Copies of this chain bind each other. A is one copy, B any other.
Amino acid sequence: MLGLLAPTDARWASVALADLDAVLRDHAHCEMKAASHALSLAARHPDDLALVRKLVALAQEELAHYDQVLGLLASRGIALGPPPVDEYAAALHAAVAKRQGSGGSIAPKARGLVDRLLVSALIEARSCERFKLLADAMGEHHELFRFYSELFAAEARHHRDLVDLARGVADGAAEGGTLLVTERLAELAALEAEIVRARATAPDRATIHG
């Protein structure tokens, strides 16, 4: 799905479904982190007004989702609490920082931006896959089925938007930029899959990327 190279362990959905409070808490933090990350990328690239506006629009949508999840927490009397450690995202960012791609003729600043956009795109893809698994495990009569089905579609769209933004940046930075993005996305998807496989031995956490 969406270029992901390792499917989520089949046991994950039942672990998540058994502790929906924890899933909702973690999910809320994921939306906030996605919004903050989009805004920090926007703030770092004030030279590209079109990119900034698209990232701000993305952040606004993430914040709207964040507020939707917070509304669910409030109506269920669940405390938000501090964010759980997101080992998946930490491992992904660390792996990308370690294995810098050659990036062909793209300047380092644009290459870093492309990588950050593609990492965000992969995280959206993984959230998308998990929301789909969760909705399927819930079944259509579950009170949160529609919510997770709608978010599943939104995450897929964010994935595509972020890859498109990366292509735009790479195209503006070097000839053949689009091709470089396709190659880099495959490399990063392989890294992401390694991380997911390494964690699949312990699918015991009711978190979005647990």
Q: In angstroms, how far is the closest chain B Cβ from the Cβ of A22? A: 14
Closest to A81 in B: B46
Interface: A66 (CB within 8 A): yes
Cα-based distance from A164 to B66 in the complex (angstroms): 23
Cα-based distance from A66 to B43 in the complex (angstroms): 12
Q: Which chain A residues numbered 59 to 111 have a C-beta less than 8 Å away from chain B?
A: 59-60, 63-64, 66-67, 70-71, 73-74, 79-83
Interface: A52 (CB within 8 A): yes
Q: In angstroms, how far is the closest chain B Cβ from the Cβ of A72? A: 11
Question: What residues of chain B lie closer than 8 Å to A82, measured between beta carbons?
Answer: 46
Q: Say how many copies of this protein the assembly contains.
A: 2
Size class of A's contact patch?
20 to 34
Q: Is the CB of B57 within 8 A of A60?
A: no
Question: What residues of chain B lie closer than 8 Å to A67, measured between beta carbons?
Answer: 53, 56-57, 60
Q: Is the CB of A42 within 8 A of B49?
A: no
Question: What residues of chain B lie closer than 8 Å to A73, measured between beta carbons?
Answer: 49
Cα-based distance from A56 to B70 in the complex (angstroms): 10
A to B CB contacts below 8 Å, 30 in the list: A29-B46, A32-B39, A32-B42, A32-B43, A35-B39, A39-B39, A46-B80, A46-B81, A46-B83, A47-B79, A47-B80, A47-B81, A49-B70, A49-B73, A49-B74, A49-B79, A49-B80, A50-B74, A52-B70, A53-B67, A53-B71, A53-B74, A56-B66, A56-B70, A59-B63, A60-B60, A60-B63, A60-B64, A60-B67, A63-B63
